[in-house]
């Protein structure tokens, strides 16, 4: 999996991409199909999209990155707000000359950053795909309290095995654990706090696909429909065989769903399709 560092806002930011490797200082190759920028959740990192990127790479140019404090990017802490995270995404992509990207977001923070980036930069984003508990913020205060206990040494850090489809293969958990452990919980806490302080202002006028896992908890599946109703061009589809971790549970099926969605919305937005 080609990786490279680029500096965004003074932070060494790790980029994951597909296609040929490029020299330092040279953007990754985004000549195939749509440029698909993958946004991870709080505590996640770009490597979580590895299998999905493999599945998308034949037709498109997928790129993922690790937010500050996450994965293998520099910095101790998460960016202070969702607005700052969206700004970082825009700075990262526009620095490469990427126009009309498709944003594929995982989890509730990824969705918040994607929606904010689309709302703050009208006409820039071609389409949004929100995967994996995109509206899963019901327990965010409890999550923050638990992370605060962990980062102050009062609780142990434990891998969360919830939200996966029944009979998920052990190898999926192993890969997920390997990526989860890369991020310091203080960065996860900061990202969650930023998310808790954020709310969607004007709804972006962008074709949006909200993906709900077949086995996803109803507590998050129902709000997905509410979110879809609020967005002017949104649809909800169900990903078979997945919980709320579709990017690692069913990457090939998800890639096919994204490709079909983009084909059906080929005229959306500006720039290359």
- Report the interface residues with another protein, using CB under 8 A: 5, 12, 14, 69, 72-76, 152-156, 184
Closest to another protein by CB, 77 vs 139, is 77
- Give the burial string for 257-273 (b: 16+ CB within 10 Å, else e): bbbebbeebeebbeeeb
Closest to another protein by CB, 138 vs 149, is 149
Distance of closest approach, residue 177 Cβ to another protein, in angstroms: 13
Of 262, 265, 260, the closest CA to residue 35 belongs to: 262
Distance of closest approach, residue 160 Cβ to another protein, in angstroms: 19
Distance of closest approach, residue 70 Cβ to another protein, in angstroms: 11
Closest to another protein by CB, 136 vs 179, is 179
Spatial strand order in the sheet of 127-131: 3-8, 11-17, 61-65, 35-39, 102-106, 127-131, 208-213, 234-239
Tell which phi-psi region holds residue 163, choosing left (phi > 0), alpha (psi between -120 and 50) or beta: left
Residue 97 tokens, joined: 């000359």
Q: What is the DSSP letter of 101?
A: P
Distance of closest approach, residue 6 Cβ to another protein, in angstroms: 10
Q: Is 123 helix (H, G, I), strand (E, B) or coil?
A: coil
Closest to another protein by CB, 83 vs 184, is 184
Closest to another protein by CB, 154 vs 170, is 154
Q: Are 177 and 248 in contact (CB under 8 A)?
A: no
Distance of closest approach, residue 184 Cβ to another protein, in angstroms: 8
């Amino acid at each position: 999996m080609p990786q490279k560092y680029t500096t965004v806002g003074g932070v060494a930011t790790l980029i994951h991409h597909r296609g040929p490797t490029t020299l330092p200082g040279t953007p990754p190759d985004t000549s195939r199909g749509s440029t698909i920028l993958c946004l991870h959740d709080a505590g996640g990192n770009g490597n979580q999209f590895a299998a999905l990127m493999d599945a998308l790479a034949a037709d498109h140019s997928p790129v993922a990155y690790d937010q500050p404090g996450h994965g293998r990017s520099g910095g101790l802490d998460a960016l202070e707000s969702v607005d700052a995270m969206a700004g970082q995404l825009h700075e990262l992509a526009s620095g490469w000359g990427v126009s009309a990207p498709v944003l594929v977001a995982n989890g509730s923070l990824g969705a918040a950053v994607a929606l904010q980036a689309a709302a703050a930069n009208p006409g820039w984003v071609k389409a949004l795909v929100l995967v994996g508990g995109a509206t899963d913020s019901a327990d965010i205060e409890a999550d923050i309290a638990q992370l605060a206990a962990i980062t102050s040494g009062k609780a142990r850090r434990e891998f969360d095995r919830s939200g996966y489809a029944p009979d998920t293969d052990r190898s999926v958990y192993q890969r997920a654990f390997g990526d989860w452990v890369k991020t310091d919980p203080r960065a996860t806490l900061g990202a969650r706090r930023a998310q808790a302080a954020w709310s969607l202002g004007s709804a972006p006028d962008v074709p949006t696909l909200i993906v709900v896992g077949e086995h996803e908890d109803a507590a998050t599946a129902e709000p997905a429909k509410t979110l879809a109703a609020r967005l002017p061009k949104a649809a909800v589809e169900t990903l078979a065989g997945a919980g709320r971790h579709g990017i690692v549970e069913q990457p090939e099926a998800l890639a096919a769903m994204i490709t079909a969605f983009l084909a059906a919305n080929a005229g959306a937005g500006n720039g290359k399709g």
